[in-house]
Amino acid sequence: MLSLLLPLVLCVPLVLCKCSDPSPAFPVPSWIQQHKDGSLASTFQAIDAALQTIASDDQYSTTSFSIQLTSETETLWSHHHTALKHNATRPGTTHINDQSLYRIASITKVFTTLGLLYQHAAGNLSLDDPISDYIPELNSSSAIPWKDITLRLLASQLSGIPREGNWADLATNPFDPTSVGLPLVKKEDLNLPACFDPEIFESCNWTQILPYLSKKQPVFAPGQKSTYSNVAFELLGLVLARVTGLSYEDYMHESIFKPLKMESTTFTTPESDEHAVLPVDQFFWDVDEGIHNPTGGLYSSSADMSIFLRYILTHYNALATGVNWFMPTSWTGLRSFYGMPWEILRTDRILEHSNRPVTFVTKGGAVPSYFSRVTLMPEYGLGLTLLIGGESSILEKIQEAVTIPLVRAAEEAVWQDIDTTHSGFYTALNHSLNSSIAFAASPATGLEVKSFISNGTDIFATLLSTYARLSGIPEGDKWRAQLSPTLLFKDEGRREGEIWRMQIVHERNDDGAIWDDFCLVDVDPVSYAGLPLNEVVFWHGEQVVELSAFRVKMGRLGGGSGEGIDEGSGEGLFVQQSS
């Protein structure tokens, strides 16, 4: 057997990479079907109670917030809290609900980038064009190499340009600089745009700001390191205006808000305070951000943001050719990354039964008195909106209180569903063959192959054990055969014939070497007669599994192993809650 499989050596890394939990994706259950009988009601009740406890702290007496969870198709749960104290002269809304309006600040960058992707897909611009092709004024005697800064780098926080134009300059703050050790500077020596007036909080126009930007120094070389920049998105907004012939604000309305029916989302201060969330001492509600709109000018509601997240969850890999919008573009820490323009966390510390990483694709925003974050969990097909008016420190407390129990409950629901639909014992439809395979699902090991006989041959004792040795797994170490979904189908039109790939998983322990964390994914190592040796296809309508390279179909005799899964049908898992 070993001699027959020697060609596999060419397909195996020279150093074994212990990708012990290789499958961060799985078929997402139908949350619509599962949210009818309330099996997760206790989870949401516990989250509601935790949120009420957080909000009861005296430091949050002037803070209101809205939280909403959506699946790919509908809102599943929401929680709204109204501040105990309001401004006596201008209270705004005193009953927070999903129509309440907040400033969502830098979440606006996601909309700007979506507009950019639309224009890239239409062929009106390329993400890899330099910004100077669209704003040639930047080339004039500038220390920043604008010709080397592409639209993609700007949207990915990899441009290396400064964070702000003038708004972050301490000279714009009404305080005594000498109190913090800074010298006094005369107004004529401020080295700020000519339009700047420290007594008036208003934006410059492009005629005034572009010459100022041309004099700025770079922070990094383009594409070298990531650093946050608001200016990058202000420039992208100008590019969109010049490419489309519309104002940036009109283009956003016509291309995104109007088609998606986001009727409350606007760059213009709402005429009425009926739905306005106006925290005590806020001063930013009425500020017109002008040319800064593309980086943080939007007003929106949790209901509108759920509409938007549903769209993103169902289109993120189909917005433009070659662009998966949820993929990282650079790292910002050990487990955190920038996307375009997402802020991504990937952690293996959240699941209770597995070290499999969970990915949170987020975008946060902050302007005075308003703090916000959207969190997409594409593995689960879920999106979370968190909008705050008031004290900023509540955001991280809410994020932790909501996402941890939510993901753990969704994880349990996922494996209950997979256990019901995939686990079981299958035998060959051609009864002349002595062929069978058994699967069991659990949160700890995923969908695992427990036994595999092909025409009387034990595949574990022959093919799989030989491949495990060739992969470098030491004799005596534990390994398993685990299925990883490709999220593709043999019949894409009817979404039938769900394709999975079998992988050998080395079960690591806690005393491994540093380089055990070096994981190179390879799910297509070898084929047989032109078909992937590890391809497993589930035809759920027929209760049949197909082993492609083995040229065999097997029918399901029994299902639902229950291994590692709490008892229950898995139905009715999400209910809408609010308080």
pLDDT tens across 252-268, in order? 999 999 999 999 999 99
Residues 459 and 530 occupy one common structural domain:
yes
Higher pLDDT, 375 or 202: 375
Q: Within this chain, do residues 184 and 328 fall inside the same structural domain, yes or no?
A: yes
Burial of 545 (0-12, 13-18, 19+ CB in 10 A): buried
Do 71 and 10 share a structural domain?
A: no
Assign 3-class secondary structure to 231-256.
HHHHHHHHHHHHHHCCCHHHHHHHHH
Q: Per the domain annotation, does 146 fall within a domain?
A: yes
Q: Do residues 369 and 511 both lie within one domain?
A: no
The partner residues of 485 in beta bridges, in order of sequence, read: 500
Any domain includes 571: no
Reported confidence tier of residue 288, pLDDT bands at 50, 70, 90: very high
More confident residue, 470 or 316: 316
Q: Please name the residues in contact with 212: beta carbons below 8 A apart, sequence gap of 6 or more.
A: 165, 166, 192, 193, 204
Answer yes or no: is 400 within a domain. Answer: no
Q: Are residues 339 and 482 in the same domain?
A: no
pLDDT score recorded for residue 22: 64
Average confidence (pLDDT) over 121-149: 92
Q: What is the mean pLDDT of residues 374-382?
A: 95
Let me know whether 345 and 445 are in one domain. no
- Domain containing 199 — which CATH number? 3.40.710.10
Determine the pLDDT at residue 514. Answer: 82
* Same domain? 460 vs 533: yes
Supply the range of the domain harboring residue 285: 63-86+98-390
**Domain shared by 373 and 505, yes or no:** no
Q: What is the pLDDT of residues 477-491, one digit of tens each?
A: 889 999 999 999 999
Q: pLDDT band for position 92 (50/70/90)?
A: very high
Determine, yes or no, domain membership for 51.
Answer: no
Cis-peptide into 145, omega within 30 deg: no
Amino acid present at 194: A
Clarify whether residues 353 and 492 are in a common domain. Answer: no
Domain count across the chain? 2
pLDDT of residue 568: 33
Output the pLDDT for position 562. 43
Domain membership flag for residue 565: no
Residue 571 has pLDDT above 70, yes or no: no
Classified as helix, coil or strand, 201 is coil
Here the tokens at position 305 are 């943001």
Confidence grade of residue 570 (pLDDT, cut at 50, 70, 90):
very low
pLDDT category, 211, cuts 50, 70, 90? confident
Please indicate, yes or no, whether residues 147 and 290 belong to a single structural domain of this protein.
Answer: yes
Evaluate if residue 345 carries a pLDDT over 90.
Answer: yes
> Does residue 405 fall inside a structural domain?
no
User: 222 pLDDT band (50/70/90 cuts)?
Assistant: very high
Mean of pLDDT values over 289-306: 97
* % of the chain at pLDDT higher than 70: 88
Same domain flag for 257 and 315: yes
**Cβ atoms < 10 Å from Cβ of 376:** 24
Count CB-CB contacts under 10 A for residue 186.
6
Q: Are residues 22 and 70 in the same domain?
A: no
Dihedral sign of CA atoms 143, 146, 149, 155 in order? positive
Whether 214 maps to a domain, the answer reads yes
Residue 574 within a domain: no
Per-residue pLDDT tens over the stretch 8-26? 444 444 344 566 676 656 8
Q: Which residue has the higher pLDDT, 186 or 402?
A: 402
pLDDT of residue 558: 72
Give the pLDDT of residue 35: 60
